[in-house]
Chain A
Amino acid sequence: MKFHWFNLMPYPYLPDDFRQKHRSVWVDVDSRLYDPVKGHRIYHDYLDLLEFAAELGFDGIGVNEHHANAYGLMPSPALMASTLARRTRDVSIVLLGMSIALYNPPTRVAEEMAMLDVISGGRLIAGFPVGTSMDTNYAFGANPATLRERYQENHDLIIRAWTDPDVFPWNGKFNKLRYVNIWPRPIQKPHPPIWIPGGGSIETWDFCAERGYNYSYLSFSGFKRAAQLMNGFHDRVAELGLPFNPYQASFAQQIIVAESEAEAEESYFPHAKYFFERCLHIYPGFADAPGYRTEATIRAGLKAQVGGVSSGGAVGKSFRQCVDEGFLIAGTPDQVTEQMEHLITSLRVGHVFCLLHIGDMPREKCEKSTRLFAEQVMPRLRHLWQGYEDRWSPKPLPAHLMAEPRPIRQPVQA
């Protein structure tokens, strides 16, 4: 069983009356709420937390891409991943990922991910999200009527750019390139493992199953509501006659670990409330542009992965309700271990993205919760899914080929 530490990097200084005074945390959120001086400290706290998680033995540390929002401050996830690649050694760099339909030409994605794979010594996981409607259609102006077609073409071009050793022309509908020849090329062959963050689209099941990609279901509605989608994926794999492997599936879950249940509720739960009430306060008109979801997905009753009508589901709920309904896994190490085991076995996932930083949680609290998870929860769950081969984790260089970056140098004293 593998555990990855993930930070959405929310802006933690949204005002108490944010919901009342502002219609959306995304797209048209007031930029005057952002203080870049505070932002400086936040980035370093967040990056420190990711490095801290690597030191504690998490298998991967994760970053992702969002635009024009206070929910996640990573418009360029490759920038975040590149600094992590330099400052860590063994951990997987889970870039989950770059919204490949937004890059023109998308060979940019092939190049940047190849750079990251080379810099990190083959530790990259390459995530290919479609991106939320807020990010793609509204913030980046991508046409919702052609977004998925463009995604598909860009995917095909990136894979070919990684795997075809010869210079080739690409005469696509959205990209015309006379000479495709990316330098550098990734260390991992034929290319870094590909994970597809999804949730709002049933077509993603077929795409992952047929191509052998990891299906990464991201949801803030918690694991109890996730069974429909996760089972949909596993069923699709079975229908195609392919073998079940839990490592082909991953799930993101918000987690609080504390010395006592009372501490989890009193000290940590307010930060989760901040997340549910402010970071997920999305104007519904930006959540689902016409055409963003396919007709089949609408008919299946699936919501957009972030910002769907259900995403505000935890607003106003008590700590107890959030735990009972699965929005949060929270409590003592024993309680969290039990709930995590339930999540892992009921969803049949071999990877969990542990969202241990939530909302406006300060660094020290997050470190404490992360340490409790790493030392008292993780070891007791490692045995799950023994006997299955994880073909979706990176294959880094052997130790003797790994570079040794120098520590940060102090200025020479005169």
Chain B
Amino acid sequence: MEQLTITLRPGSAPVHFFRGGAGEPVLYLHHLAGLQGWEPAIAELATRFEVFAPYHPGWGPSQGLEDLDSGLDLVLHYVDFLDALGLDRVHVVGHSIGAWIAAELAAIRPDRVNKLALFTPIGIWDDAIRGEDPFAQNPLRATEVLFADPARRENLILRDGTVDPLENYVQEMKDLKAAAKFLWPIPDTGVIKRLPRIKAPTILVGASGDRVVPPAYIPIWKANIPGSEAKTVLDAGHLVNLEQPSRFATIAGSWFLRPN
């Protein structure tokens, strides 16, 4: 594994990303609370694939949130990212807000996406289902709502080995601010009308304990993505990758390796 940066255009903020493993290329797009380094789920995926895991602009060390105003800007950012790395076609595993970006990418540039795995995708709103507000949380336990078992929140606090409470809080607020830019005040991104354009074989994965994107949203995504399949991970909340890393890697990996 190596931690790298790449500049997509002269003068633009560098993208920070991890790269590791060997095999077919996989783009890993992280959830709304950021990337916790070379996470166990990513490491496991990298035993079978070459994984690229960038920080979205505005999350972690990646700057450049102010240059992005819309989901389209995010998609173009990742088209540029793939171009810069010389990656023509990739599998994409997207999680939470990353699943929304992945779905937009697959809808707008179907030629660049091989297979798609969307975990706890955010970006569709239904008044009858709703879901808890990931932002209106007590700052002393801001991210509890993201876990089925709040004790596993430790996995998020220990991001990048950083344990200083102020630094951790500053980083948490920066990551959530970046997510808010695209999901505030209601996470209805309009992606639902573009989902039928997706050509990539897609698996949708909900989490039984997800309070932010209740599992009842998964059938809506499935109904709008032609030929897609769906699964539910038990004993996990919105951040499946941190609560069930092995299940996460297995589901994505098996989907990408399954002959279609």
A57 at the interface (CB under 8 A from B): no
* A145-B181, A146-B181, A290-B180 known; A298-B139 Cβ under 8 A: no
B136 close to A285 (CB less than 8 A): yes
A299 close to B166 (CB less than 8 A): yes
Binary CB contact string for chain A from 201 to 213 against chain B (1 if under 8 A, 0 otherwise): 0000000000000
**CA of A141 to CA of B136 in the docked complex: distance in angstroms?**
12
Binary CB contact string for chain B from 121 to 145 against chain A (1 if under 8 A, 0 otherwise): 0000000000001011111100000
A290 close to B166 (CB less than 8 A): no
Q: Which residues of A contact B140 (CB under 8 A)?
A: 284
A295 close to B170 (CB less than 8 A): yes
Chain A binder among B87-95, B171-179, B213-221, B248-256: B171-179
Q: Which residues of A contact B65 (CB under 8 A)?
A: 145
B170 close to A137 (CB less than 8 A): no
Binary CB contact string for chain B from 38 to 54 against chain A (1 if under 8 A, 0 otherwise): 00000000000000000
**CA of A295 to CA of B176 in the docked complex: distance in angstroms?**
12
B185 at the interface (CB under 8 A from A): yes
Question: Which chain B residues numbered 150 to 205 have a C-beta less than 8 Å away from chain A?
Answer: 166, 169-170, 172-181, 184-185
CB distance from A217 to the nearest CB of B (A): 23
A145 (CB) vs chain B CBs: closest residue: B181
CB distance from B61 to the nearest CB of A (A): 13
A58 at the interface (CB under 8 A from B): no
A215 at the interface (CB under 8 A from B): no
Q: Which residues of A contact B185 (CB under 8 A)?
A: 137-138, 141, 143
A286 at the interface (CB under 8 A from B): yes
* Chain A interface residue count, Cβ-Cβ cutoff 8 angstroms: 22
**CA of A137 to CA of B178 in the docked complex: distance in angstroms?**
15
A288 (CB) vs chain B CBs: closest residue: B139
A291 at the interface (CB under 8 A from B): yes
Which of B136, B170, B177, B179 counts the most chain A CB atoms within 10 A? B136
CB distance from B168 to the nearest CB of A (A): 12
Q: Which residues of A contact B177 (CB under 8 A)?
A: 144-145, 290-291
A381 at the interface (CB under 8 A from B): no
B170 close to A289 (CB less than 8 A): no
A138 close to B136 (CB less than 8 A): yes
Instruction: Identify whether the interface residues of B are mostly helix, strand, loop, or mixed.
Output: helix
A295 close to B174 (CB less than 8 A): yes
Binary CB contact string for chain A from 289 to 312 against chain B (1 if under 8 A, 0 otherwise): 111010100110000000001000
Among A27, A284, A290, A293, point to the contact of B176 (Cβ < 8 A). A290
Q: Which residues of B contact A309 (CB under 8 A)?
A: 139
B136 (CB) vs chain A CBs: closest residue: A285
CB distance from A282 to the nearest CB of B (A): 11
Q: Which residues of B contact A141 (CB under 8 A)?
A: 184-185
A308 (CB) vs chain B CBs: closest residue: B139
A24 (CB) vs chain B CBs: closest residue: B136
Among A146, A290, A299, point to the contact of B135 (Cβ < 8 A). A290
Q: Which residues of A contact B180 (CB under 8 A)?
A: 143-145, 289-291
* A145-B178, A291-B177, A298-B169 known; A285-B137 Cβ under 8 A: yes
CB distance from A245 to the nearest CB of B (A): 35
Which of B137, B140, B166, B169 counts the most chain A CB atoms within 10 A? B137
B169 (CB) vs chain A CBs: closest residue: A298
CB distance from B32 to the nearest CB of A (A): 10
Q: Which residues of A contact B138 (CB under 8 A)?
A: 283-285
Q: Which residues of B contact A283 (CB under 8 A)?
A: 136, 138
**CA of A285 to CA of B184 in the docked complex: distance in angstroms?**
15
8 contacting pairs across A/B (C-beta < 8 A): A141-B184, A141-B185, A143-B184, A285-B138, A290-B177, A291-B176, A291-B180, A298-B173
The 10 closest A-B pairs by CB, nearest first: A291-B177, A290-B176, A145-B181, A141-B185, A290-B177, A285-B136, A143-B184, A284-B138, A285-B137, A290-B173
20 additional A-B pairs beyond A138-B136, A145-B177, beta carbons within 8 Å, are A138-B185, A143-B184, A143-B185, A145-B184, A146-B181, A283-B136, A283-B138, A284-B138, A284-B140, A285-B136, A285-B137, A289-B136, A290-B172, A290-B174, A290-B179, A290-B180, A291-B173, A298-B170, A298-B173, A299-B166
